[in-house]
């Protein structure tokens, strides 16, 4: 906790401590009884529900259907695809006993569902008429985590995982890019994050994938967060699990599959993208309460007026809440809701009622002088606040994008590279060699985050070893979560 026990540790002093202060003080999460586990408290879970609802709607709108697959599956399933089992082996949870007896074969608690879904796809797909098969699952997964951090890296987390099968590689790659675009839209439009969509380098690919695409978001400390990934699996899993279809020629052909996922680590990304030394700053699209009304004084009139105002705002589609806790002072409430990141706070006292107004305070301003409280007419509040919330959402997205751009440097020399990744991202040419990549990470802790899709074609010497660049574009390097 912060040294004074009340506020939060300043970001500039210790960003990790600031993060921990915020997630616990804002009552978003609590540590679970098992190392690396978390209890998501109602305030944090509401953010996930709002993200989930938006993403689920986008997924369904593109023709995907939700299903649910078992949490447990035989260990032998994992072993069918060599790269997949090798990549996940250190993270697996296994069940060896049940009903008081040792099992004949250990069961794996899902770290991801390619294998069990692959088995079902093989049963459900017969002809080309069964394709494409477009599935999505909302679930929890377990992966052993050595260095847990709430929301960002926990042994159990929540996510969605899309799994699809297609007749051709072109169709599967188009699906992979469709999912990536959905994730980027959610991150930018809903999360107001500063992202870069790109392709992972071969070493950073998902275990068993032929190609992996990602959206990388910049946090307020200059580090990168992998906020969503989409994978073209080729025919590897189809071959391992017998996912075939009878083509128009009558011959059996392997399907091309994809998988893609976004998880509760997005909540951590929202916190680190927007938060400040006062606590959370939430985009209105995912704020549990978009407007909090604080009645001033103990008289009934402000309380009644606040309830009436909240009802009017709710009818206009605004998530409004009245803080009528009688045991707390207005000043405490103001600080509490600042900590919790509520976009707009309204104060309503006898003088305000007499004037037919409420005092509005924004959680954050950007690109203008820090504003104070502003009187707004009560009868016009629903329309005014709807516009204010839209402006606040757009402001946060612009702020995040500006911060990303200001902390991304195009570099050609090693000193420039080292200086750039110390505070943000470096766009550099790279040879693609694993030894060179290891050396870069050992010297700077930076790793290749992605090859930006929007990057211009370019060739030249590797920023570290001087060898020829491998990807035909500059690569984003950065320290990452």
What ranges do the domains of the chain cover? 15-274, 289-403, 408-478
* Fold adopted by 289-403: Rossmann fold (3.40.50)
Mean pLDDT rounded to a whole number for the chain: 95
Is the pLDDT reported for residue 167 higher than 50? Answer: yes
Is the pLDDT reported for residue 123 higher than 90? Answer: yes
Strand partners, 212: 231
H helices of 286-380, where? 300-315, 330-339, 350-355
Is the pLDDT reported for residue 412 higher than 50? Answer: yes
Mean pLDDT value across residues 5-18: 90
pLDDT given for residue 367 in this prediction: 65
pLDDT given for residue 88 in this prediction: 81
Please indicate whether the domains covering 15-274 and 289-403 agree at the CATH topology level: no
Domain 15-274 of CATH type 3.30.420.40: no
Residue 135 · residue 96 · CB < 8 Å: no
Phi, psi dihedral angles at 154 (to 5 degrees): -130, 155
pLDDT given for residue 368 in this prediction: 58
- Rounded Cα gap, residues 106 and 110, in angstroms: 12
pLDDT given for residue 87 in this prediction: 75
pLDDT given for residue 6 in this prediction: 60
Is the pLDDT reported for residue 369 higher than 80? Answer: no
Q: Show the tokens assigned to 190.
A: 């809903």
pLDDT given for residue 78 in this prediction: 86
Instruction: Choose between 90 and 117: higher pLDDT.
Output: 117
Using pLDDT thresholds of 50, 70 and 90, give the confidence band for residue 3. Answer: very low
pLDDT one-digit tens code per residue, 101-113: 999 999 999 999 9
Domain 408-478 of CATH type 3.60.40.10: no
Strand partners, 93: 109
Mean pLDDT value across residues 31-40: 95
Using pLDDT thresholds of 50, 70 and 90, give the confidence band for residue 272. Answer: very high
- Rounded Cα gap, residues 470 and 481, in angstroms: 25
Is the pLDDT reported for residue 15 higher than 50? Answer: yes
Mean pLDDT value across residues 391-412: 98
pLDDT given for residue 89 in this prediction: 81
Nearest CA to 376 out of 312, 329, 287 is that of 312
pLDDT given for residue 146 in this prediction: 84
- Rounded Cα gap, residues 320 and 334, in angstroms: 15
Would you say the C-alpha torsion 264, 269, 272, 274 has a positive or negative sign? negative
Mean pLDDT value across residues 368-386: 87
pLDDT one-digit tens code per residue, 178-209: 999 999 999 999 999 999 999 999 999 998 89
Strand partners, 137: 161
Instruction: Choose between 429 and 247: higher pLDDT.
Output: 429
The one-character DSSP state at 51 is H
Mean pLDDT value across residues 45-60: 98
pLDDT given for residue 1 in this prediction: 42
- Rounded Cα gap, residues 78 and 450, in angstroms: 27
- Rounded Cα gap, residues 211 and 169, in angstroms: 12
Nearest CA to 360 out of 318, 401, 328 is that of 318
pLDDT given for residue 247 in this prediction: 87
Percentage of the chain exceeding pLDDT 90: 90
Nearest CA to 73 out of 85, 87, 90 is that of 85
Mean pLDDT value across residues 360-368: 85
């Amino acid at each position: 906790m912060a040294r004074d026990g009340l506020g939060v540790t300043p970001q500039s002093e210790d960003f990790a401590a600031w993060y921990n202060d915020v997630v616990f003080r804002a009552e978003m999460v609590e540590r679970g009884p098992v190392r690396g586990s978390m209890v998501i408290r109602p305030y944090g879970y509401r953010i996930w529900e709002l993200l989930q609802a938006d993403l689920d709607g986008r997924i369904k709108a593109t023709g995907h259907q939700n299903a649910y697959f078992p949490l447990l599956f035989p260990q032998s399933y994992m072993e069918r695809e060599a790269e997949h089992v090798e990549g996940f082996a250190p993270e697996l949870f296994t069940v060896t006993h049940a009903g008081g007896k040792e099992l004949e074969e250990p069961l794996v608690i899902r770290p991801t569902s390619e294998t069990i879904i692959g088995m079902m796809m093989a049963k459900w797909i017969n002809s080309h008429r069964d394709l494409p098969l477009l599935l999505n699952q909302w679930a929890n997964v377990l992966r052993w985590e050595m260095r847990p951090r709430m929301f960002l890296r926990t042994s159990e987390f929540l996510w969605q995982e899309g799994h699809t099968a297609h007749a051709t590689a072109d169709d599967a790659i188009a699906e992979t890019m469709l999912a990536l675009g959905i994730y980027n839209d959610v991150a930018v439009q809903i999360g107001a994050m500063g992202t870069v969509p790109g392709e992972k380098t071969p070493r950073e690919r998902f275990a068993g994938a032929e190609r992996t695409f990602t959206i990388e978001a910049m946090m307020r400390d200059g580090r990168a967060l992998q906020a969503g990934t989409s994978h073209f699996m080729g025919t590897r899993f189809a071959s391992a699990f017998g996912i075939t279809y009878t083509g128009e020629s009558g011959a059996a052909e392997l399907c091309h599959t994809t998988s893609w996922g976004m998880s509760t680590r997005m909540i951590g990304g929202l916190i680190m993208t927007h938060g400040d030394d006062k606590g959370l700053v939430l985009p209105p699209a995912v704020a549990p309460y978009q407007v909090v009304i604080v009645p001033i004084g103990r008289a009934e009139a402000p309380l009644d007026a606040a309830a009436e105002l909240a009802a009017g705002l709710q009818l206009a589609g605004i998530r409004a809440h009245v803080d009528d806790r009688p045991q707390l002072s207005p000043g405490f409430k103001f600080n509490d809701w600042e900590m919790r990141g509520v976009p707009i706070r309204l104060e309503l006292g006898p003088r305000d009622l007499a004037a037919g107004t409420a005092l509005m305070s924004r959680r954050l301003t950007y690109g203008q002088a820090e504003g104070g409280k502003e009187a707004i007419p009560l009868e016009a509040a629903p329309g005014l606040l709807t516009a204010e919330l839209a402006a606040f959402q757009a402001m946060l997205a612009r702020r995040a994008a500006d911060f990303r751009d200001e902390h991304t440097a195009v570099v050609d020399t090693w000193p420039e590279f080292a200086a750039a990744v110390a505070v943000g991202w470096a766009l550099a040419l790279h040879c693609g060699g694993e030894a060179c990549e290891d050396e870069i990470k050992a010297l700077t802790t930076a790793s290749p985050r992605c090859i930006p899709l929007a990057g211009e074609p370019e060739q030249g010497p590797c920023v570290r070893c001087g060898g020829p660049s491998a990807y035909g574009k500059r690569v984003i390097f950065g320290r990452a979560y």
